[in-house]
Amino acid sequence: MPARRPLIAGNWKMYKTRAEAEGLAREVRTGATRPGVDVLVAPPFTVLAAVARVLKGSNVLLGAQNMHSESEGAFTGEVAPPMLKEAGCTHVILGHLAHGLVPIVCVGETLEERDAGKTMAVVERQVDRALRGLSPERVEGLVIAYEPVWAIGTGRTASPAQAQEVHGFIRRRVAGSHGPAAEVVRILYGGSVKPDNIGALMHEPDIDGGLVGGASLKGDSFLKIVHYPEG
């Protein structure tokens, strides 16, 4: 079985005007030159097209942060899959394979659930719900992100051992439901990923990359994560 290709994804959340987004996208395009690692940025809806123009012709992938499940309709404030594809997106952090966009499916527990020893039960329920009804081939094509709620934007992060424990559990769970797809599907860690912890996280066997929040908002810190030390 070939090694899974690492993926470093930057989720810009509700940050960046058009000029700021274009500037950051240029930095990432210029600096994300590491072979063998996929790089993705997920800007806000309002700047997707502008960022797509900056990234055109590069190897940096473009993702959206969310979308509606319907192709069109009277859904105020929502964005449809064809709109994202037209803007240049290939991925979406919450999405549907039926539209040809690769979903990055986020799972994770709250601090209360972790303290109560419910982490695995919560993650198992979330993974099972997300993958229910999908063929093994479809599961191979998506991305799962373990993003503990207690580590999002708090500066706290799971230790590499804690993250690996959950990643290994997710992979075993996928193996039980979808067989060999478990060895192909990429599982990212998200939750205060930084330049100083990405190397240790990536050293773990079931961590295939990072879903990066705050550290993706500055080119230098995000590129340090992209060029994480090996070994």
Residues labelled catalytic? 96, 147
CA 107/CA 127 separation, integer angstroms: 7
188: closest CA among 43, 30, 5, 23?
5
What is the three-state SS of 28-94?
A: HHHHCCCCCCEEEEECCHHHHHHHHHHHCCCCCEEEECCCCCCCCCCCCCCCCHHHHHHHCCCEECC
- Angle at Cα 130 formed by Cα 212 and Cα 180, nearest 5°? 90
Q: For residue 187, what are the β-bridge partners?
A: 144
Cα–Cα distance measured from residue 68 to residue 84, given in angstroms and rounded to the nearest whole number: 10
The three-class DSSP label of residue 183 is helix
CA distance 143 to 91: 9
The DSSP element (H or E) to which 143 belongs, if any, is strand 143-146
